Chains A and B, each alone.
Chain A
Amino acid sequence: MAGITGKDAVLTEYAQRLETLDAPKGRSLTQDAVRRLARNKAAVVSIFVVVFIILFAFVGPYFLPWTYDKIDWTGIRKPPNFEAGHFVGTDQNGRDMLARIMQGTQMSLIVAGVATLVSVCIGIIYGAVAGYFGGKVDAVMMRFVDIMYALPYILFVIILVVMFGRNPVLLFVGIGCLEWLTMARIVRGQTLSIKEREFVEAAKAGGAKPWTIITRHIVPNLTGPVVIYSTLTIPEIILTESFLSYLGLGVQEPQTSLGTLISFGSPVAETLPWMLIGPAVVLVSLLLALTYIGDGLRDALDPKDR
């Protein structure tokens, strides 16, 4: 039989090459995705931009002569002055703008990280439970999501933040609670198809409890869409945070965030332009880069869109 298709010969040759370690290797799904991402120029550039901004925010302050809350009494409202170490000028209180921009970026990134984590956790659990149990539970839970979608919920967050004081933790959690809706919808949709698969049936036959099935068998299979959607959530959250900060409801002085800096910079932009330009450039490039990365990841991980 060996001679008809030549299969055995090919396989034997392949086995030999495997032993000598020069066999053509297969590519895993992850490797495929990484290659597709690396071919997307906008996404690659964006990754470098984001890494640069993160380093800028967290490492940059160590290289500056001024800290974000130090007042230079000789340099109030001064344009960039390299001799005094104010590379992008000072604000009305004589604080170094570059140091403040770095601190503000740090704050915005931390809020984005924590709030994204909160929203991803809520979204996954909610969506997985609704999708897994289905029926009435699903109908009620998704109806609730529809309702939340329809409400001007940023007003609720404003009310919450104003009423319970400007606690940074509340800000994180509040924004996180705001952004989980789409995640829940996506996770539910995926769960509906995953729960019909054989391995879930096997787990059920083996006597696993629903909670175990959800955490051990369903959630790990959601990684792709969750990663894509989380990267798209981060810019949304940075926007929401800067919006709240702009309204004066975000972090408190002397700490600052990009939104706060812009809100102080925009009224005086005509006379002290350096107070607006710096934070605006950082915020816009950060948001632009994150959006491009999210799009790139979606194209790379989700083959059906191509």
Chain B
Amino acid sequence: MFGYVTRRVLSAIPIALIAVTACFFILRLAPGGPFDGERALPPTTLANLRAHYNLDLPLIQQYFIYVWRLLQGDFGPSMVYNDFTVAEMLWIGLPFTLMLGFSAFIIGTIVGLVAGALSAVNQNKWPDYVLVLLVMIGLVVPNFLMAAIMQLVFGVYLDWFPAGGWQAGSIPHLVLPITVLVLPHAGRTARLMRGSMIEVLGTNYVRTAKSKGLGQRLILARHAIKPALLPVVSYLGPGLSYLLTGSLVVEQVFALPGIGKYFISAALNRDYGLVLGTTILYMFIILAVNLLVDIIYAWLDPKVRYS
């Protein structure tokens, strides 16, 4: 197990490096720059600005400088918000995005697993039909539409929760954003869980357990749950990726102070530092979760560990 974990951690390093490189060069090879304003800057000012941000050096040299600084935890300056470094801006938004993302992730996974398992155990009875329909709605309604509907219904008409904004420590402000993030994630998880659970419940060893007289609950707990979890666990990595993408929209619609809020405007302004910083941060979160998922997978399925 220890060898497996070490191998996985080591293999994540080149992935991160490739992604940083790709991102860096895509950004730089694109036309336009951070100082293309409405009014053209005087050439000397522009040259000074470019020199200040090292933009006048050859691209390859800039790349090495960037990576070297990155290794020391320095994301460089923001080119549009002059008073902040990228690290400072990300540091302000990160705790919020993580809190939002992981609460939605945990709630959504649990809700999805329970719903999927319930629906599989009651296959083709009414709880199954109701759950499948709910799951369909969660899957099909895009998060930006769901956000608008939630704001309108629960924020404006019923006035149960605030329709947007954020006050530190206020739970009601989080209810709607988290619900919007939870629904699609729970839907996908439930769909997978239902499918794999139905498959497991049809296997020979479950039939054996039934025929030797074990109760339903014991069969589920001892024999069915663990193998049924496998496909769901391998979905959790991509699932988190979807969720973070969703948080881009949710942070904008509900005016929340996370790192997603800056991403679009930063990309439009060609704020190289901020776009790269945000992407890299998202990527590291996702890589870390994927690593965790792989380790859980190996724990659940011994075949993976020893191959």
Contacts and interface: CB of A to CB of B under 8 A. Distances in A.
A262 interface: yes
A147 B268 CA distance: 27
A150 interface: yes
Nearest to B264: A247
B26 A263 contact: no
Q: Is the interface of B mostly helix, strand, loop or mixed?
A: helix
A159 B136 contact: no
Nearest to A273: B152
A199 interface: no
Given A162-B268, A163-B31, A270-B156, A288 B148 contact: no
B290 A150 contact: yes
B15 A287 contact: no
Given A158-B267, A246-B144, A152 B279 contact: yes
B298 interface: no
B142 A242 contact: yes
B144 A158 contact: no
Contacts of B27: 159, 163
Contacts of A259: 142, 144
Interface in A53-76: none
A163 B140 contact: no
Q: Is the interface of A mostly helix, strand, loop or mixed?
A: helix
Contacts, number: 110
A158 B145 CA distance: 19
Contacts of B32: 163
B115 interface: no
Given A151-B283, A246-B144, A159 B249 contact: no
A82 interface: no
A266 B23 contact: no
B23 A156 contact: yes
B220 interface: no
B235 to A, nearest CB: 10
Interface string B263-289: 110011010000100110011001100
Contact of B286 (A151, A160, A262, A288): A151
A154 B245 contact: yes
A262 B145 contact: yes
A138 B267 CA distance: 35
Which size bracket describes the interface of B in this complex?
35 or more
Nearest to B267: A162
Interface string B9-31: 00000010011001100110011
Interface stretch (A26-34, A109-117, A276-284): A276-284
A239 interface: yes
B119 to A, nearest CB: 14
A147 B15 contact: yes
Contact of A152 (B142, B143, B244, B252): B244
Given A147-B15, A150-B290, A262-B144, A158 B237 contact: no
Nearest to A158: B267
A229 B54 CA distance: 47
B152 A270 contact: yes
A87 interface: no
Interface in A244-264: 246-249, 259, 262-263
Given A150-B287, A248-B264, 8 more contacts: A150-B237, A151-B19, A158-B263, A159-B27, A242-B142, A243-B142, A243-B143, A280-B149
Q: What 5 A-B pairs have minimum CB-CB distances, sorted nearest first?
A: A163-B30, A266-B148, A162-B267, A287-B140, A246-B144
27 contacts: A150-B237, A151-B286, A152-B286, A155-B245, A155-B282, A159-B275, A159-B279, A162-B267, A163-B30, A163-B31, A165-B31, A243-B142, A243-B144, A243-B249, A246-B249, A247-B248, A247-B252, A247-B264, A248-B264, A259-B142, A259-B144, A266-B148, A266-B151, A266-B253, A269-B148, A287-B142, A288-B140
Interface of A: 147, 149-156, 158-160, 162-165, 235, 239, 242-243, 246-249, 259, 262-263, 265-266, 269-270, 276, 280, 283-284, 287-288, 291
